[in-house]
Amino acid sequence: MRQKRHLRASTVSETSWHSCACCPPNVARLLASLGEYLYHVGGDTLYADLYHTGELATSIGRKSVIVRQQTGYPWSQSISFEFLMDQPAEFTFAVRIPEWCNESTLVAAGEKVDLASRLPDGYVRVHRAWQKGDRVELKLPMSPTRVHANPLVAADYGKVAVQRGPIVYCLEECDNGPNLHTVILPQDSTFHETLQPELLGGVVTITSEGRRWAGAGVGERLYESPDRKEESSRKTSTPAKLVFVPYYSWANRTPGEMRVWLRE
């Protein structure tokens, strides 16, 4: 009975300050377990799973291992690991190569690693007796690319999204104006990247040359005949500079539209 009263009191307490009590505990859980997402140990192997600046102290077998990671990922392509333990430790260091990156390079203790050794699980493994000062340098080039949805996704058929590295991008009304469904991203458009430290907490924005079709007689006609539509398309499709921001960052400035998938 005491346990039931305790649970009931806990529920009332949570709902009194938050209408949905799942989000704050999930954030706390994420922060508490963040280290387990960045690295994990399996047998005699230390796996680097995700990339973020920080320092790890763990053990592999009976050997103490300390590694410091430094990176500006996901904006920067460079990721470095430095081993800091005083005593040498022999083990395998496995570095994850993301599926989106096809041109990565890896240098371990001054020697270039053949990435053909990457196993199907996506990790490149380097086995050696690691000593203090040994470094592993990973580069993950991340030029903006176009992504097409599976054609069975009806809403996105014939459309394209923009991705840079692991980040999916979107258009926001505050950068591109309203009626984002009229935006076209031509197949020959090029992308330009700009690091903006003061925008949205510090992001890389992408600009491109696009077009917008306003349509003839907007607000006057609901339908057009094929001949008029072809003619009006030529007359009213105008150049437009498109500004893309990371999808995760939208809705943090002024209210407005957002769009990920665009017509080509």
Tens place of pLDDT per residue across the chain (264 aa): 444 444 444 444 555 655 666 777 888 888 888 878 899 999 999 999 999 999 999 999 889 999 999 999 999 999 999 999 999 999 999 999 999 998 999 999 999 998 876 677 899 999 999 999 999 999 999 999 999 999 999 999 999 999 999 999 999 999 999 999 999 999 999 999 999 999 999 999 999 999 998 764 455 666 766 665 555 555 577 999 999 999 999 999 999 999 999 999
What count of Cα atoms within 13 Å lies in the side-chain half-sphere of residue 8? 5
Report the pLDDT value the prediction gives residue 18, as an integer from 0 to 100: 59
* CA pair distance 85, 130, nearest whole angstrom: 9
* CA pair distance 250, 248, nearest whole angstrom: 6
Tokens standing for residue 204? 């890389």
What structural domains and CATH numbers belong to the chain? 36-139 (2.60.420), 144-263 (no CATH)
Whether this prediction's pTM lies above 0.85 is answered by: no
What is the CB neighbour count within 10 angstroms for residue 261? Answer: 19
Report the pLDDT value the prediction gives residue 169, as an integer from 0 to 100: 98
Length of the chain: 264
Q: Is beta strand 183-184 parallel, antiparallel or unpaired with respect to 105-108?
A: unpaired
Contacts of 199 (CB under 8 A, 6+ apart): 205, 245
Tokens standing for residue 93? 């260091």
Report the pLDDT value the prediction gives residue 8, as an integer from 0 to 100: 44
